[in-house]
């Protein structure tokens, strides 16, 4: 299956924009009904659009903001992109460097999202005395 | 399975360094004997360390040079990293923006490499009149 690269790139930009304005419903609408999110990859998978919407609502509640780092990479039906998340945890503000992949279904919806990041990609979040 | 993040990061840096000095054998030695390379993801997979070594020899023959873009992301046993490849094709010089994932085996060798890039990530390569 091959999707137009531009439609996958547009979806990534729509995702970042919807996240920016705190619209979890618009983010969830980019996903297939039975999509799976692994964020990070080794965490328990989040299954289905409703659970995914709730996941983004929790993320947005931290004040998280995304900033793309460089161009979106695309293959036949997968987009990969590097970005940073700026957010506030109970221990303080910080940044997480992440790479996401979006695997699309034939309708152009995200079927699987995988987020690559771990503790060594977290910077800041120190206790503010 | 969880590997130390630093060992995965070191492997990525060893990979870039071995590529830089044109040492396909050293690159292949970072892979498991039965590893699989998908570069790009939708191309026919390259299977086994010997075929992988030959693949890198062909890449290096183009004069390709890698430059990392930002920090390596790691999860339990996968590293993901963004970079650019500068190389010369018959039609001219150019750059390809790529994101790779390395999935490691318990011995810390790369079991599967997947490269995310497509035609829209190629810049330059125009005919030099």
Span B58-68, pLDDT tens digits: 999 988 999 99
* Residue B52 scores a pLDDT above 70: yes
How far CA B70 is from CA of B7, B81, B96, B106, in Å, comes to: 17, 8, 16, 26
- Give me the percent of chain B exceeding a pLDDT of 90: 88
What's the pLDDT tens digit per position in B24-42? 999 999 999 999 999 999 9
pLDDT at residue B128, as a whole number: 52
- Does B31 qualify as catalytic in the annotation? no
What residues have CB less than 8 Å from A45, skipping those under 6 apart? A36, A37, A38
Q: Which residue of A76, A118, A122, A123 is the best one to mutate when testing the B interface, meaning the one whose CB has the most B CBs within 10 A?
A: A118
- Give me the percent of chain A exceeding a pLDDT of 70: 98
The H-or-E segment that residue A124 falls in is: strand A122-124
pLDDT at residue B12, as a whole number: 98
Identify the DSSP state of B103: E
Q: Coil, helix or strand for B17?
A: helix
pLDDT at residue A1, as a whole number: 85
Which of the four pLDDT bands, split at 50, 70 and 90, describes residue B127? low
- Give me the percent of chain A exceeding a pLDDT of 90: 87
* Bridge partners (DSSP) listed for residue B63: none
| Neighbouring C-alpha atoms within 13 Å toward the C-beta of B11 | 29
Query: Quick one: tokens of A99?
Result: 């790479």
- Does B15 qualify as catalytic in the annotation? yes
Measured CA to CA, the distance from residue B4 to residue B126 in angstroms comes to 43
Q: Yes or no: say if A111 and A103 are a contact pair by the CB < 8 Å rule.
A: yes
- In terms of Cβ atoms closer than 10 Å to its own Cβ (0-12, 13-18, 19+), residue B114 is buried
pLDDT at residue A88, as a whole number: 87
Mean pLDDT (chain A, rounded):
95
Cβ contacts (< 8 Å) between A102 and chain B: which residues?
A: none
* Residue A90 scores a pLDDT above 70: yes
Q: Coil, helix or strand for B63?
A: coil
Q: Yes or no: say if A99 and A80 are a contact pair by the CB < 8 Å rule.
A: yes
Q: Coil, helix or strand for B69?
A: coil
- Report the complex ipTM: 0.93
Q: Yes or no: say if B99 and B80 are a contact pair by the CB < 8 Å rule.
A: yes
Measured CA to CA, the distance from residue B98 to residue A75 in angstroms comes to 10
The contact set of B with A (CB < 8 A) is: 2, 5-6, 9, 40-42, 69-71, 73-82, 97-99, 101, 116-121
Which of the four pLDDT bands, split at 50, 70 and 90, describes residue A89? confident
Residues of A acting as catalytic residues: 15, 39
pLDDT at residue B23, as a whole number: 97
pLDDT at residue A49, as a whole number: 98
Alpha-helix runs per DSSP H in chain B: 5-20, 24-28, 49-61
Instruction: Using the structure block, give the residue that is written with the tokens 């503010």.
Output: A128
Handedness of CA A47, A53, A54, A55 (dihedral sign): positive
Residue among B6, B42, B81 whose CB faces A75 most closely: B42
Instruction: Using the structure block, give the residue that is written with the tokens 């995310």.
Output: B116
**pTM score, whole prediction:** 0.94
The H-or-E segment that residue A90 falls in is: none
- Decide which of B90 and A15 is more confident: A15
Q: Coil, helix or strand for A51?
A: helix
Can you tell me the mean pLDDT for B70-82?
A: 97
* Residue B97 scores a pLDDT above 70: yes
């Amino acid at each position: 299956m091959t999707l137009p690269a531009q439609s996958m790139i547009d979806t990534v930009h729509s995702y970042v924009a919807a996240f920016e304005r705190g619209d979890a419903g618009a983010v969830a609408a980019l996903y297939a009904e039975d999509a799976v999110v692994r964020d990070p990859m080794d965490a328990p998978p989040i299954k289905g659009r409703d659970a995914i919407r709730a996941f983004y609502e929790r993320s947005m509640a931290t004040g998280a903001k995304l900033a793309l780092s460089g161009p979106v990479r695309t293959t036949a039906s997968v987009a990969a992109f590097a970005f940073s998340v700026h957010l506030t945890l109970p221990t303080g503000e910080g940044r997480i460097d992440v790479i996401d992949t979006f695997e699309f279904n034939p309708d152009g919806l995200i079927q699987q999202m995988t987020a690559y990041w771990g503790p060594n990609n977290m910077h800041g979040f120190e206790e503010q005395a």
